[in-house]
């Protein structure tokens, strides 16, 4: 099969992380704007991060802040690993994953601290119960600020936003970042005010019972934006994110309401209501990833029929377990360079197939056809590292 050599189409996002480059027709005109936007985002996140640390450390004290940080870190790694497990067909760019986490940890947390505290003072001044802000105000403020991370990625990194799984991953990471800083605050405060015993109870409730709470709430927004990303219907593109936000706020408000019922009431409601909701959310995420597998199988079969890959390669690329076996085989039989090429080949195959799906749906960005061809040609070059010449 004769293949015309294209201009390089793979941009490495770190070792073993290829990225399908979509042509930028107005790069000169928009380059400065993108740089300024990135600088502005870095300044906003860094500034909010510094202010958040100062606010939390002032509340908890230095010792409480240190203890709270160490304890709050413990659930972060397994929760993040579980979230990234959903994204195994096509890993998102690390910079965007870090952005989602940092936005949730610093921007969403800082804005929420300010607005939630202000609302409590306003309710108190009006003669109401300030604790009602936890149910009436906090869910709206926190889900809106966390969800903005997903919306920004959807608007400014559209080529990386394929659908529901991507929305869930970005939203859940924003939720993890928010939960981490919030846990530092509550754990540090309990340690400085009540000692180790109360801190242990707080750790169990917040870090063992409910490490997925904030990621779960905001994931509903990610589902809504993910649906919007994969549909052309204008009504769906507008109302799906709004519906996702409403679900996120409702789940968050319900959670805060159960938490206000005391430990015994919280445990009862947790088992009867929150566990089924969590199971339903996991089911939605797994179904979304299963759909990605079907999309891959369909489009990879088309590429195999056209001669870009072999039928055996198409079958391997559509199976996560076979992908792992193929990487292991390439490493054992041909060495680390071949293993890296296999990993890049698999990643790029997913991006090309998902791009083809968006083209068929009519939601692909400009230049998608050229990017698809360039991606397929790059896959052809990558496979030379682990396929004998002429195969």
Q: What is the pLDDT of residues 194-233, one digit of tens each?
A: 888 999 999 998 899 888 899 999 999 999 999 999 888 9
At residue 150, the pLDDT reads: 96
Annotate 249-262 with b (16+ C-beta within 10 A) or e (fewer): bebbbbbbebbeee
What is the C-alpha separation between 358 and 364, in angstroms, rounded?
5
- Give the global pTM: 0.85
pLDDT for res 253: 93
Tokens of 263: 């430990």
pLDDT digits (tens, 9 = 90+) for 10-67: 333 333 445 565 544 444 445 787 788 889 999 999 999 999 999 999 999 999 999 9
| Predicted local distance difference test score (pLDDT) of residue 145 | 97
The domain ranges of the chain are 30-260, 295-383
Measured CA to CA, the distance from residue 144 to residue 199 in angstroms comes to 29
How much is the pLDDT for 391?
A: 53
Range with lowest mean pLDDT among 172-176, 184-188, 286-290:
286-290
Beta strand extents in the chain (DSSP E only): 10-12, 18-20
- Joined tokens for residue 371: 């990017």
Tokens of 385: 């590292």
Average pLDDT (168-177) is 96
Of 292, 168, 364, 45, whose CA–CA distance to 300 is shortest?
292
The tokens for 18 are: 């290829």
Element (H, E) at 167: helix 164-194
Task: State the Cα–Cα distance between residues 132 and 273, nearest whole angstrom.
Answer: 21
Question: pLDDT (tens digit, 9 = 90+) per residue, 115-170?
Answer: 999 999 999 999 888 888 999 999 999 999 999 999 999 998 887 788 899 999 99
User: What does the longest C-alpha to C-alpha distance in the chain come to?
Assistant: 81
Assess contact for 299 and 356: CB atoms under 8 A: yes
């Amino acid at each position: 099969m004769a293949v015309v050599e294209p201009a390089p189409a793979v941009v490495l996002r770190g070792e073993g992380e290829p990225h399908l480059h979509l042509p930028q027709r107005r790069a000169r005109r928009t380059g400065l704007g993108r740089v300024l936007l990135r600088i502005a985002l870095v300044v906003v996140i860094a500034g909010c991060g510094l202010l958040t640390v100062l606010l939390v450390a002032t509340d908890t004290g230095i010792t409480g802040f240190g203890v709270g940080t160490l304890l709050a870190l413990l659930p972060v790694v397994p929760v993040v690993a579980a979230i990234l497990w959903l994204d195994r067909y096509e890993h998102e760019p690390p910079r965007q994953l870090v952005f989602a986490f940092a936005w949730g940890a610093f921007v969403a947390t800082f804005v929420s601290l300010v607005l939630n505290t202000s609302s409590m003072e306003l309710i108190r001044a009006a003669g109401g119960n300030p604790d009602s802000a936890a149910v009436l105000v906090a869910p709206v403020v926190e889900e809106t600020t966390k969800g903005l991370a997903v919306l920004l990625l959807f608007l400014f990194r559209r080529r990386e936003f394929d659908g529901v799984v991507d929305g869930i991953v970005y939203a859940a990471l924003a939720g993890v970042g928010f939960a981490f800083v919030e846990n530092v605050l509550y754990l540090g405060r309990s340690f400085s005010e009540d000692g180790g015993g109360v801190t242990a109870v707080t750790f169990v409730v917040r870090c063992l019972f409910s490490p997925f709470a904030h990621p779960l709430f905001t994931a509903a927004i990610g589902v809504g934006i993910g649906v919007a990303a994969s549909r052309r219907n204008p009504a769906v593109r507008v109302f799906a994110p709004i519906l996702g936000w409403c679900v996120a706020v409702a789940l968050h408000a319900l959670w805060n309401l159960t938490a206000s019922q005391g430990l015994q009431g919280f445990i009862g409601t947790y088992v009867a209501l929150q566990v089924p909701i969590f199971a339903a959310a996991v089911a939605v995420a797994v179904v979304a990833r299963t759909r990605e597998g079907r999309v891959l199988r369909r489009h990879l079969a088309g590429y195999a029929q056209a001669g870009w890959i072999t039928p055996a390669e198409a079958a391997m690329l559509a199976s996560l377990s076979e992908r792992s076996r193929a990487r292991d085989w390439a490493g054992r039989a041909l060495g680390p360079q071949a293993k890296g090429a296999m990993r890049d080949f698999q990643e790029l195959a997913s991006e090309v197939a998902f791009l083809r799906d968006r083209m068929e749906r009519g939601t692909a960005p400009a230049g998608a056809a050229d990017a698809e061809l360039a991606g397929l040609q790059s896959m052809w070059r990558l496979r030379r590292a682990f396929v004998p010449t002429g195969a």
